[in-house]
Structure 1
């Protein structure tokens, strides 16, 4: 197919002003996105937009906003121990109580440094009140990263754990700059589909460019979190459940074969039954006993509540593996594994984990009491019945038919056209007193990828480049929500971000600038815009 990429319009906007006189208008230009400038930085920043038509009904808008601020500097950020007087050399917390921060600052002064203690505050979210999150200790204001690195070496030599930070990425006031890329899919005009893709097997990763090329896609963005080289959370493709939910997190549900989209929050109930004995299935296509992002079932420790980027454990689990995982399930000496044919009949019960997965069947790995359940109920020749149920957060059943796919990521960013972040329910608030994750991942600016659906049913795939000082600073979670609402989304959610943030066009050409020094990161899966097959 011939690539169709025509520049439609370029416009310069000032916050609060309309597009300049003479800017192109019409269905393919001004109507693609709202003309309101993005809510990033203060009023009056210069913003330019360039819109291109990738295919009829599929447009790409690149937005450049703001410029470096002379008020932004490099600084040394000192880690804090858990207690007053704690070991500063092994400290890992980015924030602490005011008392701990003052204690560390006093010790730094004894070493001849001039530290400052900064209060860090957070915004109001849907289920988390705003206010003080913690206190940080910093040293110096440096024009260059090299100068900050020199000071960092001095601070570490004095016995303090620390790192460098650029203040434009703190989440406070800055003039930027930012680079935002928006793919708009108008299914009234676009003769294609939006589909998830994970490459040949779940147990493996590929770059976005590789996935785009393999599927001959018109465009794509990164999608889910991935751990142990496989997507994490609820993942369904064409009606087949390939991953169990992280309880209650946000998800994108694609119906009509990928021509309609909706955003909700999901959980799964999975079980296996044999001759009257029923056992909960804890997961699908993941390592038994290892629950990434927590939010599982059956007594996981330390919690069954979602905890993003934390790992919970469970010594007694049943985990199902489908052929999509790969030719073989992961090996392990602890536990057993039942191999099932396409009708659920037990072919064999292996005394250890790690077997070939039948192309028309599946396997069940058990550890702890899960292994004992299999020994008692999965004798060769017996039949097991597996039941799968997907529910929304209210407990209503959600249909996952052959024309349906789901990816679960989070948090929710927009609901009813307004910013709405379920930070607690989605696991962004970690249990305990250490606010490091909340500060670094939620409050500070990072590269972000998002997906939204506007009032016309159009899908918005959005990336914001970040962690690139002077080029694009990224966005906090609150800013990501504000951006999606400003772009016209009625519902929106966050996708995997950071070094995973990527957007590419046909042939694998990158649109954005990934933040990892090595370039594109290999991904667990992606959302691809493909022609109708």
Structure 2
């Protein structure tokens, strides 16, 4: 991989502290009186919208909860709307492969319905989904491929009845899953519960990013808030979740997926091109944009290596979008140039690989580095990046104030060839926006998310740039499915909106699709907005009290506080 050795870092590069904390250049309104005034910084305090929430039929009215004030300049608001009217159904797997629940072939769905009815299943029906398209045109499929079709078998008032019927039809070779109709139906009456934490520009809090005691291990949002001494918190980045749905789990469930910067220390590299929430960056206190990161290390003899990552087990790059010659999965369909991402572009639910990597570990990770394979190498450096120890195979203590460079394959050999004990490496990192401008500052924090939901005050969902892709460039679940969502937005007045929408709870809150989430953020006044976490991650904690209902699965289940990788936290000034 000779291209790694030809890299040069410009003297004007923005250098983030990967080795030290020092940065070198590196519906009715509520029945209350309107007493809003101009705040000290000249902005207008947040007000509830005057129109109904844009969810469900227009006949539904929004109910506004009372406003709470956890801290001066911070308000909590709850909006509810709709009622439970949907029931359960059996979504059938479609022929010929019996794996897909939706198809772009209307004829296939029609034919299956005909066959089922001919066999006596008169309740079989075809359903149509026509979701909006993503905003980034390079990933739009042809116009005739935007509609999806499914086949449902009956409606049921509860899951038990649906499961009983599914067991019966399975004996005839018909397979499917039990779904709540609100999960994918085009129009729903809900209900919905939307919770918003609003932070004014002059609020008596600082906004930051935090994780638990060790970055390698996930923690609940409540535990992260306690560890950070925060008065409020919401879940932030997606992470390498330990789940049957994540077959490439790397063994450390605290690992954030995408960029994570805390107090100007890069703790997780970007999934290049994904949307991120920036706090106290070079361009202002709040910003939502797409980021790329690139890091290098120069050995005492002048040789350079493009660092592959931070705080993750070398060799696997979840969601792709890495650097340095990563490989796409062998199962990747071919496609035409530009139709599918290469390994350097985000690609959700896929894992790219690289047998030749160097990954950096700081003490925030935990007490020791992961155990490496045969031939792997750890180079232990102090706070000034002076090499103190070489060990092989990799795996061992991370010294307080120090760092460890862990290499595999050609990366391990490079460390063997170029490490000189008691001599210093020179690290450097650039974190850039789409215009190629630096975004870091001494107090910079950032968390990855995506896609964007609102940009310039209009709904704008850049699904492709955030890795929601399929063979034809369109990821069905992005638009079709309702889930709990955690969202972030910025208003024209500079307020930060941290919004949690509960889901998967029939009769309480069914969740939202991506376009519905975007519409809600625009309704709340966001001129820029994005998604953070999704599903059971979605959690809001204020003053050590859980304010929402985190839910892993559809149906009636106990509230479950899922462990997550990191959080956005509000600390009292």
Name the structure where strand makes up a greater proportion of residues: 1
Distance 1:157 1:376, change over 3 A: farther
Contact (CA 8 Å) 1:238, 1:257: kept in 2 or not?
no
Shift of 1:49: 0.8
Correspondence for 1:9: none
Correspondence for 1:509: 545
| Runs of 5+ unmatched residues, structure 2 | 1-26, 38-43, 241-251, 329-342
Contact (CA 8 Å) 1:442, 1:476: kept in 2 or not?
yes
TM-score, normalised relative to structure 1: 0.88
- Which SS does the other structure have where 1:354 is aligned? coil
Shift of 1:268: 0.2
Correspondence for 2:211: 198
Shift of 1:33: 2.9
The answer to whether the aligner puts 1:223 opposite 2:232 as a matched pair is no
Distance 1:336 1:53, change over 3 A: same
Shift of 1:279: 1.2
Shift of 1:109: 5.1
Distance 1:110 1:276, change over 3 A: farther
The answer to whether the aligner puts 1:279 opposite 2:305 as a matched pair is yes
Distance 2:171 2:327 in 1: 38
The answer to whether the aligner puts 1:241 opposite 2:266 as a matched pair is yes
- CA RMSD of the aligned region, Å? 2.4
Q: What pairs up with 1:178-217 in 2 under 5 angstroms?
A: 178-188=192-202, 190-217=203-230
Shift of 1:185: 0.6
Correspondence for 1:4: none
Match of 2:29 among 16, 19, 23: 19
Distance 1:242 1:472 in 2: 35
Q: What pairs up with 1:467-486 in 2 under 5 angstroms?
A: 467-486=504-523
Tell me the number of residue pairs that the alignment of Structure 1 and Structure 2 aligns. 501
The answer to whether the aligner puts 1:530 opposite 2:571 as a matched pair is yes
Distance 1:191 1:333 in 2: 49
Distance 1:159 1:347 in 2: 64
Shift of 1:375: 1.8
Shift of 1:31: 4.4
Distance 2:45 2:258 in 1: 37
Deviates more, 1:210-219 or 1:382-391: 210-219
Correspondence for 1:142: 156
Shift of 1:426: 1.0
Distance 1:356 1:442 in 2: 45
The answer to whether the aligner puts 1:344 opposite 2:385 as a matched pair is yes
Match of 1:361 among 385, 402, 416: 402
Contact (CA 8 Å) 1:318, 1:365: kept in 2 or not?
yes
Match of 1:250 among 258, 264, 275: 275
Q: What pairs up with 1:289-304 in 2 under 5 angstroms?
A: 289-302=315-328, 303-304=343-344
Correspondence for 1:40: 55
Shift of 1:376: 1.5
- Which SS does the other structure have where 1:374 is aligned? helix
Correspondence for 2:533: 496
Correspondence for 1:393: 434
Distance 1:109 1:494 in 2: 42
Distance 2:54 2:225 in 1: 31
Distance 2:292 2:522 in 1: 26
Distance 1:24 1:259 in 2: 33
Write the deviation string for residues 487-519 of structure 1: whole angstroms up to 9, x where unpaired.
01111110111000010110x211111113451
Shift of 1:311: 1.6
The answer to whether the aligner puts 1:153 opposite 2:162 as a matched pair is no
